[in-house]
Amino acid sequence: MINMLLYKSVTLLTVLFIGTTLGQNSTTSVDSSQNHTLSEFVVGGGDAGPTPYQASLQRHRSHFCGGTIIDSRWILTAAHCLSELRPSDVTVLVGTTQLSRGGFRLRADQFFQHPSWDRTKALNDIGLVRVKGLMLTMRGKVEKATFGGDFVRSGTEATVTGWGGTRQNGGPLSDKLQFVRVRVLGEQDCQARLSNIGPMHICTFSREGQGVCGGDSGGPLASADGTVIGVVSFGVGYPPDKGCAAGLPDGFARVSHFNSWIRDTMKSRRFG
């Protein structure tokens, strides 16, 4: 997926990419409030099959973040994806795995960022986009995701999808939706490598050369049964030679932790 920089003020970017000089097996904790970089792409994966809940957030018809359809007017994404943007700047492409063809385009109507989102520490990095009009369900093309689920155990296999770059050093966005399979890392194991990790996060781990890296931001992490359990938030690498997918944990907002906020927000804006 893709790689972008995040400094003290977040600009229009996507996945938080945390720079570090740690080796893969280091147990030193990285302060996730420093050296942030936004990332947005799947590295080391392959072309994804039909993923009817997948959405592309676009500005001037250019992809910048992923999202998940969770209701007929609602897209789940990362809070940092919506920073310094107006709804009138953004359209949402659904119903396709290829950015250059097919699909349906919807205009964003309202943005909602979690009220406790902390851009400097990647805390509560979850947001919602309400679109104008209703998305019509089309089996196999446009469907809302099941989201949340139970607490995910360490070692669980999951899948990340996104349109980010496909090389560790970034590169152009992928026109075709990519996927990579990863495994959930236990909270204590993740805390040993990264600071500011808690119950609101899911960390995943894969071999070096596979993972998220910018442009994947806001996109879904799905369990084997298709339940969306995470939202892409940040990646970890050691610049400049390794870039993203450096064999270190990737971080996601844990959707089950935010179920109440998600449902309450949608319910309070059901009409209008």
Q: Which one is catalytic: 36, 80, 114, 257?
A: 80
118 is catalytic: no
- Residue 51's pLDDT is 95
233 is catalytic: no
Q: Which one is catalytic: 206, 217, 223, 256?
A: 217
29 is catalytic: no
User: Within the chain, what is the greatest distance between any pair of CA atoms?
Assistant: 52
State whether the Cα torsion 20-245-235-242 is positive or negative: positive
Cβ proximity of 11 and 37 under 8 Å: no
Q: Give the tens place of pLDDT for each residue, 148-201.
A: 888 788 999 999 999 986 666 556 788 999 998 999 999 899 998 888 899 999
Q: Which one is catalytic: 32, 56, 71, 125?
A: 125
The mean pLDDT of the chain is: 80
Q: By percentage, how much of the chain surpasses pLDDT 70? A: 74
pTM: 0.83
In the three-class reduction of DSSP (H, G, I as helix; E, B as strand; rest coil), residue 247 is classed as coil
Count how many Cα atoms sit within 13 Å of the Cα of residue 11 in the half-sphere of its side chain: 5
* Residue 9 confidence (pLDDT) above 50: no
